[in-house]
Amino acid sequence: MKSFLGIFRSLPLLEKTVEKCLILLRPRASRLVVQLHCKYGVTKTHNLAFQECERLQAVFDTQRCASQLCAPARVLAEAVVHFPPTLAEVTLGAGPGGKLSLRNYVEDETELKKTMVTELWLAEDEFQTVAVVPGSHITFCLKEFRGLLTFAEASNLPLTIHYDVPGRPVVFTLDDAVLEVHLVLATLSDTESNLQPPPTNGVSHPPAPSDDFADDLESYMIAMETSAYEEGSGAPPSPTFPLRTPHPAESDPEEEEEEEEEGAVPGTPPHKKFCSLFFGSVLMPRGPSLAPTQEVLAEDSDNEY
């Protein structure tokens, strides 16, 4: 990622000199080729090595999320500046009177007596749409959210937040004519709601954490899917494969695009059309055995109850 960014480091310079940019993927040679065709016939070719990794697919359906919020990215960005940069998680909650709150998540009582707790209230009219379950709240990672906000603010897009009960993923979406971004973040599950596995929502079953890990983020899955399709690029979309999609396929072309992403099986040849970028899959390793066998662990803990 770093070397890829390096190519585009100096935007003003690139805008002045580069006439077109060609990005090719050479799977045989494990190379991503970026060619910058500059003025005076200069061509800069960057060969980037890559490793094919197992694709982590976030399974989500924004339609089925109980709560939904939409606000200009600026409002949210102004809201998160009040939190310290080192803060790991924030809790978003729907309070009385349609107000929405953001507060820093503090793990336990003893810490509560040492940490400064910051809470911010946003009135309903600062949002474009508010359709939330009263009293609902979710806790998620602030760092990734900040990253997305920076991006959204730069592109001046409204950000929509879809969420359900604690423990179910929260989906942040940005929509535009040429760009569609989905950021799926795990949310912290409630200690109380652990007693019963959360409703399955027709998709993958999230592992119910064992008691010891009650406060951990369930699955450290952060996937950012960026699907950018340039209009008039001429390339026909790749044929749609029959997919085992969790929800009925819709005819909306954008939806199809998204489902193709979701339905991809590990090992599928990389898409020709666009890139799918993953921002690291594991945030805080909690012991080596946990991550790969999480589902099995969950089954055990369920039996205990």
Partner 1 sequence: MRFRAKIVDLACLNHFSRVVNTIAKLAKACTLRLTAGKLYFILSDKVANGGVGMWCELCQGNFFDEFQMEGVAPEHNEIYLEVVPENLSRALKTAQSAKAVKIKLTNKHCPCLRVAVELPSLSSSSRIVTHDIPVGVIPRRLWNDFREPNVPDFDVSIYLPVLKTMKTVVERMKNLSNSVVIEANLSGEMNLKIETDLVSVTTHFKDLGNPPWASVDECQDSAQDRDLESMAEARIDIRKLQQLLAGQQVNPTKALCNIVSKRIVHFILLHEDVSLQYFIPALA
Applying CB under 8 A, the residues found at the interface with partner 1 are 75, 79, 81-82, 84, 109, 112-123, 125-126
Query: Is the Cβ of residue 125 or residue 230 nearer to partner 1 in the bound state?
Result: 125
Query: Is the Cβ of residue 70 or residue 290 nearer to partner 1 in the bound state?
Result: 70
Q: How far is the CB of 127 from partner 1 (least distance, A)?
A: 9
73 contacts: CB under 8 Å, gap ≥ 6: 149, 152, 153, 156, 157, 158, 159
Place of tokens 């980037």: 48
Query: Is the Cβ of residue 3 or residue 191 nearer to partner 1 in the bound state?
Result: 191
Query: Rounded CA gap, 80 and 159, in Å?
Result: 14
Q: How far is the CB of 70 from partner 1 (least distance, A)?
A: 14
Element (H, E) at 259: helix 253-263
Query: Rounded CA gap, 10 and 38, in Å?
Result: 14
Query: Rounded CA gap, 183 and 138, in Å?
Result: 15
Q: How far is the CB of 188 from partner 1 (least distance, A)?
A: 20
Query: Is the Cβ of residue 77 or residue 186 nearer to partner 1 in the bound state?
Result: 77
Q: How far is the CB of 135 from partner 1 (least distance, A)?
A: 19
Beta bridge partners of 70: 129, 160
Query: Rounded CA gap, 203 and 184, in Å?
Result: 14
Cα atoms in the 13 Å half-sphere on the side-chain side of 16: 4
Element (H, E) at 301: helix 294-304
Under DSSP, the state recorded for 130 is E
Q: How far is the CB of 114 from partner 1 (least distance, A)?
A: 6
> Residues 286, 216: contact at Cβ < 8 Å?
yes
Query: Is the Cβ of residue 112 or residue 235 nearer to partner 1 in the bound state?
Result: 112
Structure tokens at 275: 């890139």
Q: How far is the CB of 80 from partner 1 (least distance, A)?
A: 10
Q: How far is the CB of 138 from partner 1 (least distance, A)?
A: 20
Query: Is the Cβ of residue 104 or residue 194 nearer to partner 1 in the bound state?
Result: 104
Query: Is the Cβ of residue 117 or residue 284 nearer to partner 1 in the bound state?
Result: 117
Would residue 257 be called left, alpha or beta, if left means φ above 0 and alpha means ψ between -120 and 50 degrees? alpha
